[in-house]
Amino acid sequence: MSRSSSGIVAGLTAAAVAVVGFLAFQASANVPDTLGKPTKAAPSSLPAASGGAPAQKPKNPTALPADSGSGMRVVYALADRRVWLVDEKGRSTRTFTVMPSTVNPTPGSYTVTSRSGSVTGSDGVRIEHVVRFTTVDNVAIGFSAAVDGTLTSPDPTLKTGGVRMRVADGNAMWTFATVGSKVEVIP
């Protein structure tokens, strides 16, 4: 590189740095005084020093829902797409997410009516550890795991009742939910 071209590069670099510095100065000069400072809440929104309501904690998505029955049971929350396995003392021993099917049970109390070790689901997928607990519109509703481990959304054009879970969760469900076990379905 010749001396004149290196001088041009140095000049352009210096000009670019100067422009960036000027723009940074302008930006900082236009920042509101309150930016970065804590805002004061209106007095009416602060809890009273004594006797005020405690601040709401965010909902724990894995916590066993209140009003989900009692005793040993499987709890299936439709909206949360989550299942809890609950022991006889009312403690959740395992919780996991599931993929609901196209046909869902109505909220209520059920019992496990039948089980199958390995079958082909109504969607044509090979499944295992099938735990059935009700029928809706002639569609059997139950928990199962796809043998290949997939957890995909069901085809909305099919009437299926399999609530799918991961293989490890299916193994736990199979061990936990024998025929006659309680299943509580909540909204």
| pLDDT over 70 percentage in the chain | 68
CA distance 21 to 48: 48
pLDDT of 168 higher than 50:
yes
Q: How many other CB atoms are there within 10 angstroms of residue 80's CB atom?
A: 18
For residue 20, the SS3 value is helix
Architecture of domain 73-186: Beta Barrel (2.40)
| Residue whose C-alpha is closest to residue 173's, from 70, 79, 98 | 98
Residue 72 dihedral angles phi and psi, to the nearest 5°: -70, 130
Predicted structure pTM score: 0.68
pLDDT category at 177 given cuts 50, 70, 90 is very high
Per residue in 7-54, pLDDT (tens digit) is 675 666 665 555 555 455 555 544 455 444 444 444 444 444 445 555
85-94 long-range contacts, Cβ below 8 Å, gap at least 24?
Answer: 85/172, 85/173, 85/176, 85/177, 90/64, 92/63, 92/64, 93/176, 94/169, 94/172, 94/176
Return the domain boundaries, the chain.
3-33, 73-186
Per residue in 100-132, pLDDT (tens digit) is 999 999 999 999 999 999 999 888 899 999 999
Residue 176 dihedral angles phi and psi, to the nearest 5°: -80, -50
Burial class (CB in 10 A: 0-12, 13-18, 19+), 147: middle
